[in-house]
Structure 1
Amino acid sequence: MEWAMSLLLNHPEFLKKARDEIDKQVGHKRFLEESDLHNLPYLNNIINETLRLYPTGPVVIHQSAKDCTVGGFHVPSDTMLQMNLWAVHRDPNVWVDPTKFNPERFEGIESEKNGFKFIPFGSGRRRCPGEGLAMRLVGLTLGSLIQCFEWKRVGEEMVDMSEGTGLTLPRANPLVAMCKPNPAMKHMITQI
């Protein structure tokens, strides 16, 4: 969520497109609901592009169940294998402008049919069982933040996108941003 907001603050044109989509599909007379998410493909593209650039778990670890050969290399049984999702999602042989934030690269693409070039939740039997819940919660929360508030950077400088260290991929520094109620939603916000 913090990565998505950081990216959107650095790219206000994408934030505007997301707000326009939410305004068109949901309007201003009610709050965004879970049932709206399937009608917000651009919001979903933003989430996917954020997960591509900043996967929650940048390294996935598996253990081989039996001897096998992968890419011409012998992998003995019980070998710990690491897959660097951060590198896979930024591979210039797979992605055009791989370090550029571009939600439109996901237009018309279903992640399940996109092969193994985009796998923020893993794949197969070991795919994250919380993927559906995570996507709904991030969609609802990010969508609500976009619907209900106008967001700006603090100052003119771009938001620092430095990565921290850890098992997950945290930001090096917390996001600091300014927001004010969206005038079109002010009547709804004051009723909370």
Structure 2
Amino acid sequence: MYFRPTPTAKSKALRHLPNPPSPKPRLPLVGHLHLLDPLIHHSLIRLSKRYGPIFSLYFGSMPTVVASSPELFKLFLQTHEATSFNTRFQTSAIRRLTYDNSVAMVPFGPYWKFIRKLIMNDLLNATTVAKLRPLRSQEIKKVLKVLAQNAEAQTPVDVTEELLKWTNSTISKMMLGEAEEIRHIARELLKIFGEYSLSDFIWPLKKLKVGQYEKRIDNILGMYDPVVERDFFSAGTDSTAVATDWALAELINNPRVLAKAREEVYNVVGKDRLVEETDIQNLPYIRAIVKETFRMHPPLPVVKRKCVAECEVDGYVIPEGALILFNVWAVQRDPKYWESPLEFKPERFLENPAEAGEAGAIDLRGQHFTLLPFGSGRRMCPGVNLATAGMASLLASLIQNFDLQVVGPTGKPLKGKDNRASMEERPGLTVPRAHNLVCVPVAKSTATTKLLSS
């Protein structure tokens, strides 16, 4: 039986350099997979405390390098990105479900440049985004109307599901002109894209279809093949819904932040008309809440790249073909870089330097390596502006119109200090909350009445 040895540098210039430190022993076939939990970002934090901010693992026969500091992020994603780290790593699920032709995963080169230009110039340019603003406003009003109806009837609503309907309907109508029929596939895609098959890392299994993982891929292909071929929607649906779900949970658990946000909305917009997307530029605290949510709950807690050319990083040789993992979740909660990192504190991102300090100047565009919720460099998410604007608009609208009372184990809404949302995570590409946010809405403004009569 063949076991891939620890790689050594191919070029003479790098041959004297060591590989990043690695746990011992490395087991046959599985490598270091036995060290990983389903929530991989937590496993990587535990290992980095022992082996340092850069270390190596073997996922089966796949050499893997883990980076857990902003200094290393900059070396990988800025200094060496153009030559060595310009391509994303694909799991077998992504390859099969997108016919190895995913917009998000296409290797760096002329075709990628063409696709990127098409997306930025034709789909996400300012004119197109502005033209579709009424559509986005209409989809937000649908969510608000559902909650208003439940508030009037004093009945629970699954807010998590409503958020997924909202993002799915908005993106798919913008891109495809269809909505409800692909909501289920959006969730299934993002769930399986965040999982791994043994065949991803153990090379003798690559030609085999192993276990339920491969059967689930076949089922998705069989049921939704026409939709999966148009894969652009999968990048924008679940991630925005999950981030908004986390934001609402944080607001429920932090009534001080909620009260301050509501005061801002009432001062700027009032109670008689609904929030519009154009109002967001005048709501700095709402924008700060969005940033703080992406800091504590990044859509991609672990960003992945593939090393396409051997190079040196921080005194170590990084082998060609290696999977590179950037533990964004760890850095964004590290007390070295953030004051009170486990506290939900939007004030840190206010543009007023006196209140926010240095963090007030940090944006989400991948230029500040302590905050990379959308990645960085050539392969960062191109829809960051659209995602943050839509999320801010919906959050401001919900804050203006409703309080959310979490439904407890007995089926009754929790009140006062007992009204808290679970912050437990579950595995997935976007790491959503483990339990859906089921709440009884309580109307807070006169605009809610207009929703019911419209």
Q: Does 1:9 align with 2:252?
A: yes
Q: 1:57 touches 1:169 (CA, 8 Å); kept in 2? A: yes
Post-superposition shift, 1:51?
A: 1.1
- Of stretches 94-103 and 156-165 in structure 1, the one that deviates more from structure 2 is 156-165
Q: Does 1:139 align with 2:392?
A: yes
Distance 1:157 1:142 in 2: 19
Q: Which has the higher contact order (CA 8 A, sep 6+)?
A: 1
Q: 1:148 touches 1:189 (CA, 8 Å); kept in 2? A: no
Cα shift readout 1:91-139 (whole Å, capped 9, x = no counterpart): 1211111111111111122415972001101111111011111111111
- Counterpart AA for 1:64: C
Post-superposition shift, 1:191?
A: 3.4
- Of stretches 169-178 and 81-90 in structure 1, the one that deviates more from structure 2 is 169-178
Larger Rg: 2
- Counterpart AA for 2:400: Q
Distance 1:133 1:20 in 2: 25
From the superposition, tell whether residues 113 and 169 of structure 1 become closer, same or farther in structure 2 (CA, over 3 Å): closer
Q: 2:405 touches 2:419 (CA, 8 Å); kept in 1? A: no
Distance 1:106 1:19 in 2: 17
Distance 1:139 1:183 in 2: 18
- Counterpart AA for 2:426: G
Post-superposition shift, 1:150?
A: 2.5
Distance 1:73 1:37 in 2: 45
2:284 aligns with one of 41, 59, 82: 41
Q: Does 1:152 align with 2:405?
A: yes
Q: Does 1:30 align with 2:270?
A: no
Q: Which runs of 4+ in 1 moved over 6 A?
A: none
Q: Point out the structure with the larger helix share.
A: 2
1:81 is paired with a residue whose SS is strand
Distance 1:107 1:71 in 2: 34
- Residue 180 (structure 1) aligns with: 442
- Residue 103 (structure 1) aligns with: 346
Distance 1:113 1:103 in 2: 19
From the superposition, tell whether residues 29 and 158 of structure 1 become closer, same or farther in structure 2 (CA, over 3 Å): closer
- Residue 68 (structure 1) aligns with: 311
Post-superposition shift, 1:58?
A: 0.9
- Residue 125 (structure 1) aligns with: 378
2:453 is paired with a residue whose SS is coil
2:321 is paired with a residue whose SS is coil
Post-superposition shift, 1:161?
A: 0.8
From the superposition, tell whether residues 113 and 58 of structure 1 become closer, same or farther in structure 2 (CA, over 3 Å): closer
- Residue 166 (structure 1) aligns with: 428
Q: 1:162 touches 1:172 (CA, 8 Å); kept in 2? A: yes
Cα shift readout 1:36-94 (whole Å, capped 9, x = no counterpart): 11111111111111111111111110112322222222112332101111111111211
- Residue 326 (structure 2) aligns with: 83
> Percent of aligned positions with the same letter in both sequences?
39
Q: 2:252 touches 2:404 (CA, 8 Å); kept in 1? A: yes
Post-superposition shift, 1:166?
A: 1.5
Q: Point out the structure with the larger strand share.
A: 1
Q: Which runs of 5+ in 1 are unaligned?
A: none
State the TM-score, normalized to the length of structure 1.
0.92
Post-superposition shift, 1:174?
A: 1.1
- Counterpart AA for 2:313: V
Post-superposition shift, 1:157?
A: 4.9
Q: 2:272 touches 2:445 (CA, 8 Å); kept in 1? A: no
1:60 is paired with a residue whose SS is strand
